Amino acid sequence: CLQSAVVRTKEAVFPCKWNNRTCKLFLNYEHGFTLYSDPTDSVTSVGNAASTGNVRLLWQQPFEKLRSSADDSEHLLTLDFHGEEGVVELDFGTSPKPFVFHLHAFLSAKAARIGLVG
């Protein structure tokens, strides 16, 4: 079933751009959303981002902070989080639908785990 596949997979990674910076968006079953800079990106400074080698943690949000998501079916995805991060726009360069499918699968598995769905 879908939920057990998500639990086994645990994480999916999606290349994207955020603020015109090449990044990787990690969707993790336990931790939610994490955006890291791509070490091949030529931009080297990012505000208050924590650095790990050549890769920088840009932001991290748990699933519980997601208020809404929307996409344009072409290349852009918008995530609206409660709190400081607010609205985030990501450019996937191609259809964001594979990410949206994974997001729905992960959220469904989380809901099943806490008993919100059967």
The total number of structural domains that make up the chain: 1
Residue of 92, 117, 90, 110 whose CA lies nearest to 28 = 110
What does the block give as tokens for 110?
């989380």
**Would you give the end-to-end CA distance of the chain in angstroms?**
12
pLDDT recorded at residue 28 = 95
Q: Answer yes or no: is 101 within a domain.
A: yes
What global pTM score does this model have?
0.81
Q: Answer yes or no: is 11 within a domain.
A: yes
Distance of alpha carbon 26 from alpha carbon 72, whole angstroms: 20
Handedness of CA 69, 96, 48, 65 (dihedral sign): positive
CATH code where residue 86 lies:
2.30.29.30
Q: Which domain holds residue 97?
A: 2-113
Angle at 58 between CA 56 and CA 63, to 5 degrees: 130
- Written as tens digits, the pLDDT of the chain (118 aa) is 677 777 788 999 999 999 999 999 999 999 999 999 987 765 544 444 454 458 899 999 999 999 999 999 999 999 999 988 799 999 999 999 999 999 999 998 888 877 655 5
Distance of alpha carbon 71 from alpha carbon 97, whole angstroms: 8
| 27: Cβ contacts below 8 Å, ≥ 6 apart | 11, 12, 13, 14, 33, 99, 102, 103, 106
